[in-house]
Structure 1
Amino acid sequence: MSTITRTLRNLWRIGFKEYGHQMQYIGDTKAGTLVGVDRFGNKYYENREEELPIRTRWVDYKEKDIDASQSEPGWHCWLAHMVDSPPNQDKILQSGLRKWEAPKHTPNLTQSRAAYKPYSTVRPKISAWQPVAAAR
Protein backbone atom coordinates (compact mmCIF):
# COMPACT_ATOMS: atom_id res chain seq x y z
CA MET A 1 0.00 0.00 0.00
CA SER A 2 1.28 3.43 -0.81
CA THR A 3 0.68 6.88 0.55
CA ILE A 4 -1.68 9.39 -1.03
CA THR A 5 1.17 11.66 -2.16
CA ARG A 6 3.04 8.77 -3.79
CA THR A 7 -0.14 7.59 -5.52
CA LEU A 8 -0.92 11.08 -6.86
CA ARG A 9 2.69 11.57 -8.00
CA ASN A 10 2.60 8.24 -9.87
CA LEU A 11 -0.80 9.14 -11.36
CA TRP A 12 0.74 12.34 -12.72
CA ARG A 13 3.70 10.41 -14.20
CA ILE A 14 1.96 7.40 -15.76
CA GLY A 15 -1.48 8.78 -16.70
CA PHE A 16 -5.02 7.58 -16.07
CA LYS A 17 -4.96 4.57 -18.41
CA GLU A 18 -1.81 3.02 -16.93
CA TYR A 19 -3.02 3.96 -13.42
CA GLY A 20 -6.21 1.93 -13.94
CA HIS A 21 -4.23 -0.96 -15.43
CA GLN A 22 -1.82 -1.09 -12.48
CA MET A 23 -4.55 -0.81 -9.87
CA GLN A 24 -6.46 -3.68 -11.50
CA TYR A 25 -3.52 -6.09 -11.91
CA ILE A 26 -0.86 -5.01 -9.39
CA GLY A 27 -3.01 -3.31 -6.76
CA ASP A 28 -0.53 -0.43 -6.42
CA THR A 29 0.85 2.35 -8.59
CA LYS A 30 4.45 2.31 -9.77
CA ALA A 31 6.38 4.63 -12.06
CA GLY A 32 9.68 3.56 -13.55
CA THR A 33 11.72 3.05 -16.67
CA LEU A 34 11.19 0.15 -19.06
CA VAL A 35 14.29 -2.07 -18.85
CA GLY A 36 13.31 -4.75 -21.34
CA VAL A 37 10.78 -7.10 -22.85
CA ASP A 38 11.21 -10.88 -22.92
CA ARG A 39 10.17 -13.24 -25.72
CA PHE A 40 6.76 -13.85 -24.12
CA GLY A 41 5.89 -10.13 -24.23
CA ASN A 42 6.31 -9.41 -20.49
CA LYS A 43 7.61 -5.91 -19.70
CA TYR A 44 10.17 -5.36 -16.95
CA TYR A 45 10.50 -2.04 -15.11
CA GLU A 46 12.89 -0.51 -12.59
CA ASN A 47 12.78 2.57 -10.35
CA ARG A 48 15.80 3.06 -8.12
CA GLU A 49 15.15 6.62 -6.91
CA GLU A 50 11.93 6.61 -4.93
CA GLU A 51 11.04 3.01 -4.14
CA LEU A 52 11.91 0.94 -1.13
CA PRO A 53 14.98 -1.30 -1.60
CA ILE A 54 13.13 -4.50 -2.47
CA ARG A 55 10.32 -2.87 -4.49
CA THR A 56 12.57 -1.37 -7.18
CA ARG A 57 11.92 -3.97 -9.90
CA TRP A 58 8.64 -5.36 -11.17
CA VAL A 59 7.07 -7.08 -14.17
CA ASP A 60 3.92 -6.35 -16.17
CA TYR A 61 2.80 -9.73 -17.50
CA LYS A 62 1.33 -9.94 -20.99
CA GLU A 63 -1.07 -12.73 -19.98
CA LYS A 64 -3.42 -11.50 -17.30
CA ASP A 65 -3.64 -14.94 -15.67
CA ILE A 66 -0.61 -14.11 -13.54
CA ASP A 67 1.78 -16.98 -12.85
CA ALA A 68 5.40 -16.60 -11.77
CA SER A 69 6.45 -19.28 -14.25
CA GLN A 70 5.66 -16.82 -17.07
CA SER A 71 8.97 -15.01 -16.58
CA GLU A 72 12.17 -16.42 -18.04
CA PRO A 73 14.95 -17.63 -15.69
CA GLY A 74 17.28 -14.72 -16.48
CA TRP A 75 14.58 -12.16 -15.83
CA HIS A 76 13.57 -13.99 -12.66
CA CYS A 77 17.16 -13.67 -11.39
CA TRP A 78 17.12 -9.96 -12.18
CA LEU A 79 13.74 -9.45 -10.44
CA ALA A 80 14.97 -11.25 -7.32
CA HIS A 81 18.15 -9.10 -7.20
CA MET A 82 20.41 -12.12 -7.82
CA VAL A 83 22.18 -10.28 -10.65
CA ASP A 84 22.74 -6.56 -11.16
CA SER A 85 22.36 -6.26 -14.92
CA PRO A 86 19.23 -7.39 -16.78
CA PRO A 87 19.47 -10.32 -19.23
CA ASN A 88 19.34 -8.05 -22.27
CA GLN A 89 22.64 -6.46 -21.12
CA ASP A 90 24.38 -9.54 -19.71
CA LYS A 91 26.49 -11.58 -22.16
CA ILE A 92 25.96 -14.91 -20.36
CA LEU A 93 22.17 -14.59 -20.16
CA GLN A 94 21.81 -13.55 -23.82
CA SER A 95 22.15 -17.11 -25.04
CA GLY A 96 18.58 -16.99 -26.37
CA LEU A 97 16.41 -20.03 -26.93
CA ARG A 98 18.17 -23.27 -26.11
CA LYS A 99 17.34 -26.43 -28.04
CA TRP A 100 15.73 -28.07 -25.00
CA GLU A 101 13.43 -25.08 -24.24
CA ALA A 102 9.89 -24.89 -25.52
CA PRO A 103 9.30 -22.02 -27.98
CA LYS A 104 6.14 -20.92 -26.16
CA HIS A 105 5.25 -20.73 -22.49
CA THR A 106 3.93 -23.86 -20.78
CA PRO A 107 2.13 -23.00 -17.55
CA ASN A 108 2.88 -24.57 -14.20
CA LEU A 109 0.04 -27.07 -13.69
CA THR A 110 0.68 -27.88 -10.03
CA GLN A 111 -2.48 -27.79 -7.88
CA SER A 112 -4.73 -27.96 -10.93
CA ARG A 113 -6.75 -30.77 -12.51
CA ALA A 114 -4.08 -31.18 -15.19
CA ALA A 115 -1.25 -31.78 -12.69
CA TYR A 116 0.87 -34.90 -13.11
CA LYS A 117 -0.23 -37.74 -10.86
CA PRO A 118 1.84 -40.93 -10.97
CA TYR A 119 0.06 -44.26 -11.21
CA SER A 120 1.46 -46.98 -8.98
CA THR A 121 1.43 -50.61 -10.13
CA VAL A 122 2.90 -51.93 -6.89
CA ARG A 123 0.69 -53.57 -4.29
CA PRO A 124 0.50 -51.44 -1.13
CA LYS A 125 2.69 -52.68 1.73
CA ILE A 126 0.25 -51.59 4.38
CA SER A 127 -3.41 -52.54 4.33
CA ALA A 128 -6.19 -50.96 6.35
CA TRP A 129 -7.32 -52.80 9.48
CA GLN A 130 -10.78 -54.31 9.25
CA PRO A 131 -12.25 -54.91 12.71
CA VAL A 132 -14.13 -58.12 13.25
CA ALA A 133 -16.93 -57.99 15.79
CA ALA A 134 -18.15 -61.27 17.27
CA ALA A 135 -21.89 -61.73 17.79
CA ARG A 136 -23.01 -61.73 21.42
Structure 2
Amino acid sequence: MPPRRQAPPASATTSAQAPSRLIDARIEELADWRGQMLARLRALIKEADPDVIEEWKWRGVPVWSHAGILCTGETYKNVVKMTFAKGARLDDPARLFNSSLDGNTRRAIDLHEGDEIDEKALKALIRAAMALNTSATR
Protein backbone atom coordinates (compact mmCIF):
# COMPACT_ATOMS: atom_id res chain seq x y z
CA MET A 1 0.00 0.00 0.00
CA PRO A 2 1.54 3.36 -1.02
CA PRO A 3 2.23 5.86 1.74
CA ARG A 4 -0.53 8.33 2.38
CA ARG A 5 0.15 11.78 0.92
CA GLN A 6 0.04 14.57 3.41
CA ALA A 7 -1.21 18.02 2.60
CA PRO A 8 1.48 20.69 2.66
CA PRO A 9 1.57 22.77 5.81
CA ALA A 10 -0.63 25.86 5.72
CA SER A 11 2.49 28.03 5.67
CA ALA A 12 3.46 26.46 2.32
CA THR A 13 0.32 27.81 0.64
CA THR A 14 0.67 31.48 -0.17
CA SER A 15 -2.33 33.72 -0.59
CA ALA A 16 -1.34 34.15 -4.25
CA GLN A 17 -1.73 30.40 -4.81
CA ALA A 18 -5.15 30.13 -3.21
CA PRO A 19 -7.12 31.92 -5.97
CA SER A 20 -5.39 29.84 -8.65
CA ARG A 21 -6.31 26.68 -6.80
CA LEU A 22 -9.91 27.84 -6.48
CA ILE A 23 -10.02 28.49 -10.24
CA ASP A 24 -8.51 25.03 -10.84
CA ALA A 25 -11.25 23.55 -8.65
CA ARG A 26 -13.99 25.47 -10.48
CA ILE A 27 -12.76 24.20 -13.85
CA GLU A 28 -12.66 20.64 -12.54
CA GLU A 29 -16.05 20.98 -10.83
CA LEU A 30 -17.74 22.08 -14.05
CA ALA A 31 -16.50 18.96 -15.88
CA ASP A 32 -18.18 19.94 -19.15
CA TRP A 33 -17.72 22.38 -22.02
CA ARG A 34 -17.91 25.32 -19.58
CA GLY A 35 -14.88 24.06 -17.67
CA GLN A 36 -13.01 23.52 -20.92
CA MET A 37 -13.94 27.02 -22.12
CA LEU A 38 -12.93 28.64 -18.83
CA ALA A 39 -9.61 26.75 -18.90
CA ARG A 40 -8.98 27.91 -22.49
CA LEU A 41 -9.80 31.53 -21.65
CA ARG A 42 -7.51 31.34 -18.63
CA ALA A 43 -4.65 30.02 -20.78
CA LEU A 44 -5.14 32.78 -23.35
CA ILE A 45 -5.19 35.44 -20.64
CA LYS A 46 -1.90 34.12 -19.24
CA GLU A 47 -0.37 33.97 -22.73
CA ALA A 48 -1.39 37.57 -23.40
CA ASP A 49 -0.21 38.80 -20.00
CA PRO A 50 2.28 36.51 -18.23
CA ASP A 51 2.26 38.88 -15.23
CA VAL A 52 -1.50 38.65 -14.72
CA ILE A 53 -2.70 38.07 -11.16
CA GLU A 54 -5.48 35.59 -10.53
CA GLU A 55 -8.06 36.48 -7.90
CA TRP A 56 -11.26 34.97 -6.55
CA LYS A 57 -13.97 37.52 -5.78
CA TRP A 58 -17.67 37.96 -5.21
CA ARG A 59 -18.27 34.48 -3.79
CA GLY A 60 -16.77 32.52 -6.60
CA VAL A 61 -15.85 34.56 -9.66
CA PRO A 62 -12.42 34.10 -11.23
CA VAL A 63 -10.83 37.52 -11.79
CA TRP A 64 -7.67 38.40 -13.71
CA SER A 65 -5.91 41.63 -12.80
CA HIS A 66 -2.93 43.71 -13.80
CA ALA A 67 -2.86 47.16 -12.17
CA GLY A 68 -6.61 46.71 -11.72
CA ILE A 69 -9.18 44.25 -12.97
CA LEU A 70 -8.76 43.18 -16.60
CA CYS A 71 -11.62 40.70 -16.82
CA THR A 72 -13.72 38.12 -15.04
CA GLY A 73 -14.74 34.61 -16.03
CA GLU A 74 -18.29 33.88 -14.94
CA THR A 75 -19.94 30.54 -15.66
CA TYR A 76 -23.67 30.07 -16.07
CA LYS A 77 -25.82 27.16 -17.24
CA ASN A 78 -25.61 28.03 -20.94
CA VAL A 79 -22.80 30.56 -21.20
CA VAL A 80 -19.29 31.42 -20.08
CA LYS A 81 -19.14 35.20 -19.75
CA MET A 82 -15.86 37.05 -19.99
CA THR A 83 -16.48 40.57 -18.69
CA PHE A 84 -13.92 43.32 -19.22
CA ALA A 85 -14.05 45.87 -16.39
CA LYS A 86 -13.22 48.82 -18.67
CA GLY A 87 -14.42 47.26 -21.91
CA ALA A 88 -16.33 50.33 -23.06
CA ARG A 89 -12.99 52.13 -23.35
CA LEU A 90 -11.33 49.42 -25.46
CA ASP A 91 -11.18 49.25 -29.23
CA ASP A 92 -12.73 46.01 -30.45
CA PRO A 93 -12.03 45.83 -34.19
CA ALA A 94 -12.82 42.09 -34.29
CA ARG A 95 -16.19 42.79 -32.62
CA LEU A 96 -15.70 40.20 -29.91
CA PHE A 97 -17.93 42.03 -27.44
CA ASN A 98 -21.46 40.69 -27.76
CA SER A 99 -22.94 41.37 -24.33
CA SER A 100 -23.31 44.26 -21.86
CA LEU A 101 -23.05 46.67 -24.78
CA ASP A 102 -25.29 49.40 -23.38
CA GLY A 103 -23.29 50.29 -20.27
CA ASN A 104 -20.76 53.06 -19.96
CA THR A 105 -18.04 50.93 -18.40
CA ARG A 106 -18.10 47.16 -18.89
CA ARG A 107 -18.31 45.02 -22.00
CA ALA A 108 -18.59 41.24 -22.14
CA ILE A 109 -18.11 38.29 -24.43
CA ASP A 110 -20.71 35.54 -24.04
CA LEU A 111 -19.38 32.17 -25.18
CA HIS A 112 -21.72 29.25 -25.78
CA GLU A 113 -21.06 25.57 -26.27
CA GLY A 114 -19.31 25.02 -29.59
CA ASP A 115 -18.24 28.66 -30.03
CA GLU A 116 -14.81 29.24 -31.52
CA ILE A 117 -12.48 31.79 -29.95
CA ASP A 118 -10.61 34.27 -32.13
CA GLU A 119 -7.45 33.80 -30.07
CA LYS A 120 -5.41 36.53 -31.75
CA ALA A 121 -8.18 39.12 -31.32
CA LEU A 122 -8.87 38.06 -27.73
CA LYS A 123 -5.20 38.34 -26.76
CA ALA A 124 -5.08 41.79 -28.37
CA LEU A 125 -8.11 42.81 -26.31
CA ILE A 126 -6.49 41.51 -23.11
CA ARG A 127 -3.28 43.42 -23.90
CA ALA A 128 -5.31 46.57 -24.59
CA ALA A 129 -7.05 46.19 -21.21
CA MET A 130 -3.65 45.80 -19.53
CA ALA A 131 -2.31 48.87 -21.35
CA LEU A 132 -5.34 50.88 -20.25
CA ASN A 133 -4.90 49.80 -16.64
CA THR A 134 -1.21 50.72 -16.62
CA SER A 135 -1.60 54.01 -18.50
CA ALA A 136 -1.53 57.38 -16.76
CA THR A 137 -5.09 58.07 -17.95
CA ARG A 138 -6.75 55.30 -15.96
**TM-score above 0.5, yes or no:** no
The answer to which structure has the higher strand fraction is: 2
TM-score (norm 2): 0.32
TM-score (norm 1): 0.33
Work out which of the two has the higher radius of gyration on C-alpha atoms and give 1 or 2. 1
Q: Counting helix residues as a fraction of each chain, which structure ranks higher?
A: 2
| Bigger relative contact order (CA 8 A; separation at least 6) | 2
